[in-house]
């Protein structure tokens, strides 16, 4: 029975993880289409060809309408913190190809380590990390606004990306297997706790010094903090550096 439960958890967690990754890819495609990128050009060509065969075919979706929807639900804005849907939507949203590739490759590399967890825990890690990273970023933006020069406008800042979720998952994996070996920058072998610890220390420093950067350092810190806290409160019975059996 225990074996069946573990197998079921694995399948459900893999499905959940792949669904989130698929959603992120879909949202990236929608951004690209709405910004009239290569996806828009490709679909427009296909649409024109099909119209030559089926003249009554409906016209292509309106890029501006799609863009407005994405800005409302898939972009976290400092001046609209009460839009709670965007707290999660922005965490599955990317506009840059390299950004989504880095996040989703890292996600798909480390998430399988957690697939044996009960599904409600795995789901909480994903969505809890998203919410925590968004909340931390918004708090950081509020602090920066208070400390900014009077002539500097910081109210129009916005953020998106799965880095907060990835940080939460990575933090949890680190708590379970801190001595696992990883290749930093794909070259330098190091224990997971060293590489992830250095990553978070840099993010914390950049956040505390309010250093200007296009990277959401505060979101990384918020996601990682949630992963560590959730492991400490709910997951250590499954093993890891604080692990114990009840």
DSSP symbols for 20-88:
HHHHHHHHHHHHHHHTT-HHHHHHHHHHHHHHHH-TTPPPPP-HHHHHHHHHHHSSEETT-TT-THHHH
Tens digit of each residue's pLDDT (9 = 90 or more) over 123-142: 999 999 999 999 999 999 98
Among the residue ranges 2-11, 88-97, 213-222, the one predicted with the least confidence is 2-11
Tens digit of each residue's pLDDT (9 = 90 or more) over 128-185: 999 999 999 999 998 887 776 444 555 678 999 999 999 999 999 999 999 988 876 6
Please, what are the domains in the chain?
2-238 (1.20.1540.10)
Q: Is the pTM of this model over 0.85?
A: yes
Tens digit of each residue's pLDDT (9 = 90 or more) over 61-84: 788 999 999 999 999 999 988 999
């Amino acid at each position: 029975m225990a074996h069946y439960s573990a197998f079921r958890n694995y399948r459900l967690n893999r499905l959940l993880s792949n669904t989130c990754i698929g959603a992120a890819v879909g949202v990236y495609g929608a951004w690209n289409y709405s910004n009239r990128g290569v996806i828009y050009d490709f679909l427009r060509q296909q649409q024109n060809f099909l119209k030559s065969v089926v003249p009554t075919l409906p016209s292509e979706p309106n890029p501006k309408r799609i863009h407005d929807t994405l800005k409302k639900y898939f972009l976290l804005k400092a001046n609209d913190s009460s839009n709670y849907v965007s707290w999660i939507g922005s965490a599955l949203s990317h506009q840059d190809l390299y950004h989504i590739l880095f996040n989703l490759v890292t996600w798909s590399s480390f998430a399988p380590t957690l697939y044996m967890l009960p599904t409600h825990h795995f789901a909480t890690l994903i969505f809890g990390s998203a919410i925590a990273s968004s909340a931390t970023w918004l708090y950081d933006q509020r602090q920066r606004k208070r400390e900014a020069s009077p002539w500097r406008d910081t109210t129009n800042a916005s953020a998106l990306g799965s880095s907060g979720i990835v940080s939460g998952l990575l933090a949890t994996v680190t708590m379970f297997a801190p001595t696992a070996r990883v290749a930093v920058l794909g070259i330098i072998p190091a224990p997971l706790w060293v590489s992830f610890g250095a990553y978070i220390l840099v993010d914390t420093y950049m956040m505390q010094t309010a250093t200007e950067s296009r990277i959401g350092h505060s979101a990384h810190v918020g996601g990682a903090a949630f992963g560590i806290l959730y492991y400490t409160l709910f997951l250590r019975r499954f093993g890891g550096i604080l692990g114990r059996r009840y």
